[in-house]
Structure 1
Amino acid sequence: MATELAWMQAADAVAVKSGAEIAALPAKAVALTLPRTNEAALPAQSGIKEGALAADSYSGFLTIKALPKKAVYQISLSKHAWIDVVQGEKLAETVSFNGAPECPIVRKSVRFELGEGPLTLMIVGSDVETVKIAIREAQD
């Protein structure tokens, strides 16, 4: 988690708004600005349990045009929210996850086995408007 901690604390995060498309995985955090959940226009149905979203929550998405290879990728968030990954028009299944509710820098990390090519990352139910995200191949 040393890399994720460093990326989240750095001032040079890639700032994007919900709906943005980036070419490839950046070697730094992405600061994703989210609209209110009721205005998010998510591209797929989230896997979050019905009724689990607060009325005043924020949700959004970004697309990464190309992952370099099939691998397990770790997606870490600076704040509490649900993470969905859509690849090949299906929600990717979680391989593993961990959370640290008391950590002010990295709140949770979820691992997904993903194929090479494009993906859409959906962040659902955040209690803040901007969430930092670190995405990279998982390191064991």
Structure 2
Amino acid sequence: MIVKKLQDIIGTDDDVDTEGWNSRRLLLKDAGMGYSVHDTVIKEGAELHMHYKNHLEAVYLIEGKGEIETVEDGKVYDLEAFTIYALDQHDKHILRANKGSHMRMVCVFNPPVSGREVHGEDGAYPADLD
């Protein structure tokens, strides 16, 4: 059994903090579960261009407000607490946290990430770092 507390991850190597987001990686590839789970904060006013071409991602928003735009068709979806979205088509997207609000979300990646990934210039995590 694996049991972890967020407070034990904050400030460690599994706490990846960038200008636009902070991802606390709760379960990673080395857990052997076949997916990874992250507690992620999108910082207030951030606009992130992402494209998980090597991963599928499901996101459950638990705090804050923002929006997600699918680049291919320009559709914009409002996001608020207790909303889930799934990037089931490796969707190229833009994620925006509203001014005056961060967004806190639980993110699940398949295949799992190893923990060191950050977005490349194309908005994607690499296929595998291990």
Category of TM-score, reference length = shorter chain = 0.3 to 0.5
